[in-house]
Amino acid sequence: MDRYMIESPHEPEDCDKIIREIHTAGYLHHFEWGCHDGVHCGWAFVETDNVEHAKQMIPWEVREKARIVKVENFEKVDKIHPHKKS
């Protein structure tokens, strides 16, 4: 499985609705929120088969605003950075 970071912004007036929808879908425990600090966004790190499944975790009303990034760990110090040419 791949690991993805989901960043899902929303409008302040939509907080309750978005959080309830994510809770109803069963994904609330994956998300952390910046709403109480004035940053109306949820972030999650999830493991799933593909980016399409990660998108399904986001309510359709805000799905187009969301950013989903495949992430990975670099555990070896000597591993060549993927953007540098040898």
pTM of the model: 0.82
CA 27 to chain centre: 11
Domain ranges of the chain: 2-71
Residue 21's CB is within 10 A of a number of other CB atoms, namely 17
For the segment 35-85, what is each residue's pLDDT rounded down to a tens digit?
999 999 999 999 999 999 999 999 999 999 999 999 988 776 665 666 655
Burial class (CB in 10 A: 0-12, 13-18, 19+), 43: middle
